[in-house]
A = this chain, B = another copy of it.
């Protein structure tokens, strides 16, 4: 089914393979993104171009496109929803960079450090509003419901993360709730809107939502491991950002739990100083990374990611085999494999 019209070169990574398979669609999505980030107020396209033009992986709109093919959708509305998904993502990135005081984004200087915080906040608002304009144009109230709910869940997740900063005793459950909201909710919504457009029924809708949610969890777990470096992959952002912010992620939760279990007072004191007291010096990131490695905390985090990849893949059982299903299966593996 869905034999690709394009010739796919061999030896591509799964995401490159999927991007090649969806090249024509993604060109249409890109055209919508570029057309709809325009404004007579020049600062808006300038700043949007800095972020959107930097590309990124376009993973979330790609999910929408791939899910639409998987469901045999024949219409045109998935292009606008994919663009809307990317606008929501771009808006949260702009706001995150102000909130997190990030130095780099997608390998470039973060927009707020060039234009200042105010334009990043306001252009984020603009892109977020534009995402709803695009959704309205599709006429799908159900898709609007899914994406607007995801948007409020994302904001809730971001606030939860903020409230949990420097909480060295954060539970795994709170952490998983946080990343489920701030990251996985948009992956889930991006995948779920396509069966809604296609009218594929509840089973396939649930399956794609689960696929997106689990893929999003795996993606964030891997990202949180990558923040401590040591992997042969370019993040396009600074190493150690989470650590410097006092952000609790699974690697640190695991390492701190081990320190408590083993009654390692030196390690406990270290984590309390750098996280709770947020008293850090230049060498502390290296010390932290050494602790994480000696406790196998990064490997354990990748292990957790692999489990979510498996759940994501199983969710696709309801679909017949084919190019798009196999591309999504491989994409899920790749989310973890990219660091190995």
Q: Which A residues lie at the B interface, using CB under 8 A?
A: 39-44, 91-92, 95, 98-99, 117-119, 121-123, 125-126, 128-130, 132-133, 135-136, 139, 141, 144-145, 148-149, 151-152, 154-156, 158-160, 162-163
Contacts and interface: CB of A to CB of B under 8 A. Distances in A.
Contacts of A155: 122-123, 125-126, 128-129
Contacts of A39: 156, 159
Nearest to A121: B95
Contact of A125 (B43, B95, B145): B95
A117 B117 contact: yes
B129 A136 contact: no
A228 B92 CA distance: 36
A144 B136 contact: yes
A118 to B, nearest CB: 4
A159 B129 contact: no
B163 A43 contact: yes
Tallying the copies of this chain within the complex gives 2
Contacts of A117: 98-99, 117
B144 A121 contact: no
A246 to B, nearest CB: 13
B121 A98 contact: yes
Contacts of A44: 156, 159
A118 B148 contact: no
User: Counting chain B CB atoms within 10 Å of each CB, which of A39, A40, A41, A141 scores highest?
Assistant: A41
User: Counting chain B CB atoms within 10 Å of each CB, which of A91, A128, A135, A139 scores highest?
Assistant: A128
Contacts of A136: 141, 144-145, 148
A215 B332 CA distance: 53
A244 to B, nearest CB: 15
A162 B126 contact: no
B41 A156 contact: yes
A162 B119 contact: yes
A162 B118 contact: yes
Given A117-B117, A139-B141, A141-B141, A159 B123 contact: yes
Contacts of A43: 159, 162-163
B163 A42 contact: yes
B121 A99 contact: yes
Given A41-B160, A133-B149, 11 more contacts: A41-B156, A42-B163, A91-B125, A92-B125, A98-B118, A129-B155, A132-B144, A133-B148, A133-B152, A136-B144, A139-B141
8 nearest CB pairs, A to B: A129-B151, A129-B152, A126-B155, A132-B148, A125-B155, A99-B118, A136-B145, A122-B158
A295 B339 CA distance: 68
5 contacts: A44-B159, A98-B121, A125-B154, A135-B148, A136-B148
B156 A126 contact: yes
Contacts of A156: 39-41, 44, 126
A145 B95 CA distance: 24
Given A117-B117, A139-B141, A141-B136, A162 B122 contact: yes
Given A41-B160, A43-B162, A159-B41, A154 B139 contact: no
